[in-house]
Amino acid sequence: MTLLQNAVACPSDVPVLTLPNGDANRDGKVDEDDYRLVDAALGTSDPNADLNGDGAVKDDDLALVKAP
C-alpha cells in the first residue's frame, strides 16, 4: 500500500499553515531550539530535521536554520 492510497483530500475551507523556513520544531519561529534539533540529527533521515526534504539531514539543512 502506498502513501497516496491512504491520502485524504483536504477540504478547501481549511486554512493553510505556512511555517518559516528553518522552523524544525514547528513552533512558528526559527531559533536555537531548531538549530539544536537539526544539529543533533545530522547524518540521519529524521523527517523533522530534514528541512529541504532530500531524505537526509546534512549541513544544508543546518544552513536553513542559520539563514536570516
pLDDT of residue 12: 72
The answer as to whether 68 is a domain residue is yes
Q: What is the predicted pLDDT for the residue at 2?
A: 47
- List the CATH number of the domain containing 41: 1.10.1330.10
Instruction: Provide the pLDDT confidence category of residue 49 given band limits of 50, 70 and 90.
Output: very high
With respect to residue 13, please indicate whether it lies within any of the assigned structural domains: no
Which pTM does this prediction carry?
Answer: 0.70
Total domains, the chain? 1
Where in the sequence is the domain holding 30, given as residue range(s)? 18-68
Question: Region 2-7: what's the mean pLDDT?
Answer: 54
30 in a domain, yes or no? yes
- Is 10 contained in some domain? no
Query: Is residue 10 scored above 70 in pLDDT?
Result: no
Measured CA to CA, the distance from residue 50 to residue 57 in angstroms comes to 5
In a domain, 9, yes or no: no
Q: Which tens digits make up the pLDDT trace of 19-33?
A: 568 999 989 899 999
For the chain, helix, strand, coil in percent to 5 are: 30, 0, 70
